[in-house]
């Protein structure tokens, strides 16, 4: 979309007023220490929604050549053109450098939606997982369902278990699956509302691949908290999130068969919720080893900016202008 300079300034002013100072001050201290000079440019993107970008994931179960043509006319181009280690031909995602949001498809009874709008960095955990046809796959914290839909664009698992503990989010997940996946395939998908911390004990060593897109302190949304009391409470509870994340990760390890792989992801920059959780898992789980995903990072470096200095089994997407994707942390582990 395009705004007149006057309207853009007015809109930007309104958005700036909505930024929660308590959260921003907290982030300033934490991320200046953790990211150094990179935080300044990341902060500028996170606090300016007018520069945010959205990608368009096409639904292979509802092909629409006219949609692809329309995207190209509007300046979108196919994502992931590098030599990726894993890129199924059926996975088609379009993005563009300029800000703006492509119109979201509306629900039509009896018809599948043709595309799903998402942050392009959200596809990196799916690409890292490398799901193949026939595998048993668990999406441990699946709502709202974007990554579940993306997995099904890549392959047809022999068994696909999508779990979401929160009732409201679980309904959202079910609606997403129903809107994008045809009935015959839906019949092979299990949607549950289990506490993810217990799935490993309930279904030990059952899955070939597990995605742990864990609940986290979502940096983008938290910055625009309208309730200061709620924002302050969130920041206090933030210290407890890493414990929950580790418990979910440990449960995923138990649910994973020997030789299987898992991907852990968050949409926060926080080291405590990212590298620290993975390091704790590697040091406390003798049956886990890191998996190098640096080749994937190099292959998509034209589209994403990554934090330097991380280990080869992890990536952290840093939003910047023109490439305002992320934050998205991705780490891959294998059970031996």
Give the model confidence (pLDDT) of 222-278 as tens digits. Answer: 999 888 999 999 999 999 999 999 999 999 999 999 999 999 999 999 999 999 999
**Contact call for residues 325 and 121 (beta carbons, < 8 A):** yes
Which residue positions form the known binding site for S-adenosyl-L-methionine? 141-147, 164, 195, 213
Tokens describing residue 201: 């004990």
Confidence of residue 107 (pLDDT cuts 50, 70, 90): confident
Question: Considering the domain boundaries, does residue 77 fall inside one?
Answer: no
The pLDDT of residue 197 is 98
Question: Considering the domain boundaries, does residue 241 fall inside one?
Answer: yes
Query: Running DSSP on this structure, what letter comes out for residue 330?
Result: E
pLDDT at 326 over 60: yes
Average pLDDT of span 120-135: 98
Confidence of residue 13 (pLDDT cuts 50, 70, 90): very low
> Rounded mean pLDDT of the chain?
93
- Site of tokens 């699956």: 177
12-26, 102-116, 136-150, 201-215: least confident range: 12-26
- CA-based torsion, 245, 246, 250, 253: positive or negative: positive
Cis bond before residue 327 (omega within 30° of 0)? yes
pLDDT digits (tens, 9 = 90+) for 158-208: 999 999 999 999 999 999 999 999 999 999 999 999 999 999 999 999 999
- CA-based torsion, 120, 125, 128, 132: positive or negative: negative
Give the pairing type, strands 55-58 and 115-118. antiparallel
Question: Considering the domain boundaries, does residue 84 fall inside one?
Answer: no
Alpha carbon of 237 to those of 134, 217, 231, 240, 279: distances in Å?
Answer: 40, 9, 10, 5, 21
2 vs 163, more confident: 163
Question: Considering the domain boundaries, does residue 93 fall inside one?
Answer: no
Beta-strand runs (E) in 63-187: 77-78, 93-95, 115-118, 136-139, 159-163
The pLDDT of residue 14 is 42
The pLDDT of residue 8 is 45
The pLDDT of residue 17 is 53
Question: Considering the domain boundaries, does residue 263 fall inside one?
Answer: yes
Confidence of residue 109 (pLDDT cuts 50, 70, 90): confident
Beta-strand runs (E) in 49-181: 55-58, 77-78, 93-95, 115-118, 136-139, 159-163
d(CA 142, CA 125): 12
pLDDT at 22 over 50: yes
Question: Considering the domain boundaries, does residue 221 fall inside one?
Answer: yes
Which residue positions form the known binding site? 141-147, 164, 195, 213
The pLDDT of residue 55 is 96
d(CA 108, CA 98): 29
Average pLDDT of span 315-333: 97
286 vs 107, more confident: 286
- Where in the sequence is the domain holding 132, given as residue range(s)? 21-54+119-335
d(CA 43, CA 32): 10
pLDDT at 3 over 60: no
Looking at the annotation, which residues are catalytic?
A: 267
Residue 135 burial (CB count, 10 A): 18
d(CA 23, CA 153): 36
Report how many domains make up the chain: 1
Question: Considering the domain boundaries, does residue 16 fall inside one?
Answer: no
pTM: 0.93
**Contact call for residues 60 and 92 (beta carbons, < 8 A):** yes
pLDDT at 63 over 70: yes
d(CA 140, CA 197): 9
Question: Considering the domain boundaries, does residue 191 fall inside one?
Answer: yes
Provide CB contacts within 8 A for 99, sequence distance 6+. 50, 51, 52, 53, 324
The pLDDT of residue 211 is 98
Query: What's 160's domain CATH number?
Result: 3.40.50.150
In order, the DSSP letters of 254-306 are HHEEEEEEEEEEES---GGGTHHHHHHHHHH-TTEEE---HHHHHHTTTT--B
14 vs 288, more confident: 288
For the chain, percent of residues with pLDDT exceeding 90 = 89
The pLDDT of residue 2 is 36
The pLDDT of residue 101 is 83
Provide CB contacts within 8 A for 85, sequence distance 6+. 130, 295, 296, 299
């Amino acid at each position: 979309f395009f705004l007149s300079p006057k309207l853009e300034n007015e809109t930007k002013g309104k958005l700036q007023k909505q930024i929660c100072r308590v959260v921003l001050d907290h982030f300033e201290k934490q991320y200046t220490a953790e990211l150094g000079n990179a935080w300044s440019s990341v902060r500028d993107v996170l606090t300016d929604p007018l520069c945010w970008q959205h990608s368009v994931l096409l639904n292979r179960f509802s092909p629409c050549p006219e949609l692809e043509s329309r995207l190209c006319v509007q300046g979108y181009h196919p994502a992931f053109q590098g030599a990726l280690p894993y890129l199924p031909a059926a996975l088609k995602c379009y993005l563009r450098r300029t800000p703006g949001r492509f119109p979201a498809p509306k629900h039509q009874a009896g018809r599948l939606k043709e595309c799903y709008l998402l942050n392009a960095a959200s596809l990196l955990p799916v690409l890292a997982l490398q799901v193949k046809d026939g595998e048993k796959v668990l999406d441990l914290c699946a709502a709202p369902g974007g990554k579940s839909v993306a997995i099904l664009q890549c392959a047809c698992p022999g068994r696909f278990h999508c779990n979401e503990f929160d009732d409201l989010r679980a309904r959202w997940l079910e609606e997403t699956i129903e809107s994008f996946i045809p009935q015959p395939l839906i019949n092979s998908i299990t949607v549950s509302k289990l506490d993810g911390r217990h799935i490993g004990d309930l279904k030990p060593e059952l899955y070939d691949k597990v995605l742990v897109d864990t609940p986290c302190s979502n940096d983008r949304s938290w910055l625009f908290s309208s309730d200061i009391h709620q924002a302050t409470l969130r920041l206090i509870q933030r210290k407890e999130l890493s414990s929950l994340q580790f418990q979910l990760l440990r449960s995923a390890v138990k649910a994973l068969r020997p030789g299987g792989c898992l991907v852990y992801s968050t949409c926060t920059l926080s080291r405590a919720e990212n590298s620290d959780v993975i390091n704790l898992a590697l040091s406390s789980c003798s049956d886990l080893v890191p998996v190098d995903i640096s080749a994937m990072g190099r292959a998509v470096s034209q589209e994403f900016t990554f934090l330097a200095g991380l280990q080869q089994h992890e990536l952290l997407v840093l939003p910047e202008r023109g490439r305002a994707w992320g934050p998205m942390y991705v780490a891959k582990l294998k059970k031996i």
